[in-house]
Amino acid sequence: MSAVRQFNTRAHKALADSQLQRALAKARSGFVDKRAHAAASEPDFEHMRDQAREVRQRALANLAMCLEQFEQQVLAAGGQVHWAETPDDLRRIVIDICRDSGARAVTKGKSMVGEEAHLNVALEAAGITPWETDLGEYIIQLAKEPPSHIVAPALHKTRGQIEHLFRDAHRLGERALDEVSQLVDEARAVIRERFLNADVGITGANMLIAETGTAVLVTNEGNGDLTARLPRTHIITTSFDRVVPTWDDASKIIRVLARSATGQPITSYTSFFSGPRAGNEQDGPDQFHVVLLDNHRSALLGTEFETMLHCIRCGACMNHCPVYQAVGGHTYNAVYPGPMGAVLSPLLRGAPQDDALPNASSFCGRCEAVCPVRIPLPGLMRKLREREQQQTPAIASRWLLRLHARLSRHPALYRSLTGWGSRALALAAGGRGRLRRIPLLGGWSRERDLPAPQGGSFQQQWQARKGRG
């Protein structure tokens, strides 16, 4: 089955899933309305977006220097930086650190790079139990599902589905779980004990500040702080492109990140980690490790797709995308869904199934309009479509284009055939004014009608009106 047909099959299944549609409908207005209010409440928001874009451009332009400075500062603080070229390398490095720490269980904060490397599966295979601590990640861990959104991993779940998961997993007897607050309280009670018993804590990082070797983590639950500070070892898994030169640069990203993601001026927790516990500190880890993943990102530097590395993972593009809003994240069958995933997944993973993703767009432009760092996502998707067409052109498309090119060289024959085709389509419409089925174009006409030709061709009408003039 072709990649496009696979995507279409998943999309039809998602559209027919009533529970998924209810979950998407609730999230749809929430994210969009909150982002719109946050942008309208900040008179300088467009200027803030320009500043954030400039930070990402400057960071990539000076990437080698920033990364070298970041590593030097981490080493000076007593931490270690590890370089992972592939997901396999990242998994190996993390597992080695866990084994050196004698870890039997680890707590994990949300990390898209961890998802990208399928880290939980690798930890379990190594005999180490990963416990997710982000509420959304915890829910999908119980459901044994991948995330459907990069900010709200359990966006596709309804309250009723979450209640059933908790009742099956927690075995706490009869208790009320009718309200969202009750679900949150129960998850907090279960996860809190795991914070205290974990040997290693693994988090992601939204940014890396080169001038001080500091990792920045933004959350709304505080689980990142507990994951990073309570275990003896703290491991950060992220990608090298998260680096920014200075604290001032980081503040410019923070100003647009939460406003774009959740409509907040700033998240509830903005945490900064700069190495292991110092001698005069009462808490914090004894070991501090930063694992930086490449996974084909370096190949994008200096190319027409470099701007994709500007992405700050806010999720605004998918929140506003009519395709994502209709079918959800699992339809993309990728760690990164939505418009940003339609570009990033083919570039990082390059699997045959990713060929369909750049086509999963209406090209309405809303993703680019709301992107806090102004990534031209529709343009990048078009470039991927062009590249795929050049590499593996469909036989039918190639012959149709050749036929059209030849006909265009013979105007009389072209006019004759198009005139005949217009009359044939008008007859096929049967006086209804529209065509519901078109031979050889069933995939297109299955979801829409085509207006039937009215009268002669444009050239015929032009000639007739010229004669009357």
Q: For residues 106 and 201, is the Cβ–Cβ distance under 8 A?
A: yes
Strand residues in 188-267 grouped as ranges (E): 200-203, 207-209, 214-219, 233-239, 243-244
Q: What per-residue confidence (pLDDT) applies to 436? A: 72
Give strand pairing partners of 270: 218
- Mean pLDDT score, 114-124: 97
Look up residue 331 and give its two tokens. 């339809």
- Locate CATH 3.40.50.10420 in the chain: 42-295
Q: What per-residue confidence (pLDDT) applies to 392? A: 63
Q: How far is CA 54 from CA 178, 253, 257, 457, 461, in A?
A: 46, 10, 14, 51, 53
From the list 70, 412, 93, 399, the residue with the least C-alpha distance to 207 is: 70
CATH number of 42-295: 3.40.50.10420
Task: Say if residue 186's pLDDT is above 60.
Answer: yes
pLDDT in tens, 1-56: 677 789 989 999 999 999 999 989 887 778 999 999 999 999 999 999 999 999 99
Classify the phi-psi angles of 160: left when phi > 0, otherwise alpha if psi is within -120 to 50, otherwise beta: alpha
Amino acid identity, position 421: G
Taking the CA atoms of residue 115, residue 120, residue 121 and residue 123 in that order, the dihedral angle to the nearest 10 degrees is 140
pLDDT in tens, 273-321: 999 998 888 889 999 999 999 999 999 999 999 999 999 999 999 999 9
